[in-house]
Amino acid sequence: MPFLTLTLCLAMSVWAVIVLLRGSVFLSTALFLVATSCLPAEFFSFDAAGLTWTLDRLWFLALVTQAAIRWYRGDQSFTRLAPPDVAIGLFALWLVVRTITQPLGISVPGQAPTLMHLVNGYLIPFVLYALLRTSKLDPLQLRSALIVIVLLGLYLGATALFEVAKLWGLVFPRFIADPDLGIHFGRARGPMLQSVRLGIVLLACWVPMFVYTVWLKPGSRFQWAALAISLPIMWGAIGVTYTRSIWLALAAVVFLLVICCLRGLPRRAAVMAMLGAGMLVVLIKGPDLIAFKREFSAAETRESTYMRAAFAYVSVEMFKDRPVAGFGFNQFQVYNLPYLSDRSTNIRLESIRGYVHHNGYLSLLVDLGIVGFALYGFVALTYAFQAWALWQSQAVPKWARGLGLVALAVGIAHLIQMAFHEVSFSSIENGFLFSIFGLIVAANEQLGCRLTTKP
C-alpha cells in the first residue's frame, strides 16, 4: 500500500507540474469537480499540518497555483468589477463575519465543523467562480472540459445502476458498497455516499450534453448517438436515487430545455405531452410519492415528508427571535434545542432533533438573518440576469449562448434542491453552480460587447 501511494503521488506530481505550466484552467476545474465528486477521504487521505488532505484538496492547491501563474503571465482577463462580483463579495464577507463572531468550537455530533463547512461549502466554490470569471474563454479548451464533465456523468450513471442492482464487482470505488459509510445505502448514492448530491451532479453533467447536441449541433450523428446512449443511463440513475426533489428538478430542467430549444409545433406538442404526463403521474401515483419504500420503509419515507413542517416551524420561530443577523453560520442545530420543546403546536418538533437543516432558504434565514438572506438573493438575481442575458444575446456565438442555457438549467435544479435540502455541506453542489456562474460572467464581459457573430 505505501508503494502504491508513493506511485500515485509521483504520477500526480508530474501531471500537476504539466497542468501548472501548460494546462487549461477550464480542464483543471473540471478535473477538480471530478476529484471532489468521486475521490473523497474514503478513497484516499492523509493528515499533515493539522489538516486531512484528500486528492481534491491537493488538486485545488494546484488549480490555485496555476491561476496565479497565468495571472503573472497576463493570461487572465479582468477589467472591472461586475454586479455578480459585488454580490458574491458582499455575501462572502457576511458569511465570514457570521462565522468568526460565533464560537467556532460549538458543534454537535454528526455535524460538519463550522470552519470546514464554510470553506468547503462556500469559499472553495467562490474561488472557482473567481478563477473562471477571470479566464480568457477559449471554445476548444471549454470543449475538453465539457468532455470530462460528460464522461463523469456517464461513469456516475453506470455506477448508480450497478449499485442498485447490487453488482458490487462493477462498482468503483469499493467504499460505495460499505453500508456503514455515508447515508442512503440501498439507493443510488455513488461515491458521494449521498443520493441528493449524486442527483445534482448527474443533472449538471447531462444538461450540457443535451444543449450542445440538440441545440448546438443537431446534425451531428455522433453526438446524437452519444446522447441516445447517455439518456437511459443518466436518467435511469436519477430515477434510482429515489429522491423526489431530484425527480422534480429533472422535470423542471427538461421543461426549460424544451421551451428554449424547440420552436413551433414540436414545442407545443412537447409541452402538452409533458403537462399531460405530469397530471397523470400526480393523479395515479400522487399518494405513493409521499410514502414509498426507499432504503427504509414507506412509513419512514412519509415521516421524512412531514418533518419538513417541523423544520419550517422551528426555523420561523428562531428567525423571529434574531431576524437581522441570525444565530450565526452553521448554528441551527446548536440553538434549536429549546424550540423543539414548544408544545403550542401539534407538529412533532422532536422528530428533527439531531438532523441538519433540510431547507436551504430557511437555513440562511436562521443562520445569517435577513441580511444574509437578502445578500444571497442578490447573488441569485445576478446569476439569473447574467444567464438570461447571455442566452438572449444575438451578438455572441452559439457555443457561448449555450453556456447561458446550461446555467439556467443548473440554477433551476439547484434552487429546487435548496427548498428540500441544505446543499452547502460539501464543495460539490456549490462547486458546479459557481463554476458555471463564473463562465457566464466571463462570457458576458468578454464576448457580449465585441462579437457580432450571428447564432
pLDDT per residue as tens digits for the range 58-105:
999 999 998 888 888 877 777 788 999 999 999 999 999 999 988 765
3-state class (DSSP) for residue 48? strand
* 42 domain-assigned: yes
Residues 6+ away with beta carbon under 8 Å from 344? none
| Radius of gyration in angstroms for the set of CA atoms belonging to the chain, rounded to a whole number | 22
Query: In whole angstroms, what is the distance from residue 310 CA to residue 415 CA?
Result: 21
**What integer best gives the mean pLDDT of the chain?**
85
Beta-carbon count within 10 A of 280 CB:
10
- Residue span of the structural domain in which 15 resides: 1-76
Q: 262 vs 176, which has greater pLDDT?
A: 176
Question: Does pLDDT of 392 surpass 80?
Answer: yes
- Residue 4: the pLDDT is 56
- Residue 291: the pLDDT is 52
Average pLDDT over residues 328-352: 86
Query: Contact 217/211 with Cβ under 8 angstroms?
Result: no
* 281 domain-assigned: no
Q: State the angle between helix axes of 398-418 and 244-261 in degrees (0 to 180), rounded to the nearest 10.
A: 150
The dihedral sign for the CA sequence 104, 372, 200, 213: negative
Ranking 29-38, 105-114, 266-275, 313-322 by mean pLDDT, the lowest is: 105-114
Confidence bin at 449 (pLDDT 50/70/90): very low
* 13 domain-assigned: yes
The dihedral sign for the CA sequence 204, 205, 206, 207: positive
Query: In whole angstroms, what is the distance from residue 48 CA to residue 36 CA?
Result: 19
Average pLDDT over residues 429-444: 96
The cell 503573472 sits on which residue?
72
DSSP-derived letter for residue 135 is B
- Residue 367: the pLDDT is 94
3-state class (DSSP) for residue 166? coil
Beta-carbon count within 10 A of 272 CB:
10
Question: Does pLDDT of 281 surpass 80?
Answer: no
pLDDT per residue as tens digits for the range 153-207:
999 999 999 999 999 999 999 999 999 998 888 899 999 999 999 999 999 999 9
Query: Contact 365/317 with Cβ under 8 angstroms?
Result: no
- Residue 92: the pLDDT is 97
Confidence bin at 21 (pLDDT 50/70/90): low
- Residue 227: the pLDDT is 84
Query: Cα–Cα–Cα angle for 210, 275, 268, nearest 5°?
Result: 65
Burial of 179 (0-12, 13-18, 19+ CB in 10 A): exposed
Helix (H) or strand (E) holding 188: none
When divided into structural domains, the chain yields a total of: 1
3-state class (DSSP) for residue 399? helix
Query: In whole angstroms, what is the distance from residue 372 CA to residue 151 CA?
Result: 36
Query: In whole angstroms, what is the distance from residue 327 CA to residue 12 CA?
Result: 42
Residues 6+ away with beta carbon under 8 Å from 404? 386, 387, 388, 389, 390, 391, 392, 393, 440, 443
* 53 domain-assigned: yes
Question: Does pLDDT of 134 surpass 60?
Answer: yes
DSSP-derived letter for residue 356 is P
Average pLDDT over residues 374-394: 95
**Each residue of 5-36: b (16+ CB within 10 Å) or e?**
eeeeeeeeeeebeebbeebbbbbbbbbbbbbb
- Residue 351: the pLDDT is 82
Question: Does pLDDT of 298 surpass 60?
Answer: no
Beta-carbon count within 10 A of 194 CB:
21
* 58 domain-assigned: yes
pLDDT per residue as tens digits for the range 31-60:
999 999 999 988 988 888 777 889 999 999
3-state class (DSSP) for residue 398? helix
Query: Contact 326/365 with Cβ under 8 angstroms?
Result: yes
- Tell me, what amino acid is at 437? F
Query: Which of 436, 429, 455 has the alpha carbon at shortest distance from 386?
Result: 436
pLDDT per residue as tens digits for the range 318-339:
999 999 999 999 998 888 888 9
Burial of 96 (0-12, 13-18, 19+ CB in 10 A): middle
* 16 domain-assigned: yes
* 64 domain-assigned: yes
* 421 domain-assigned: no
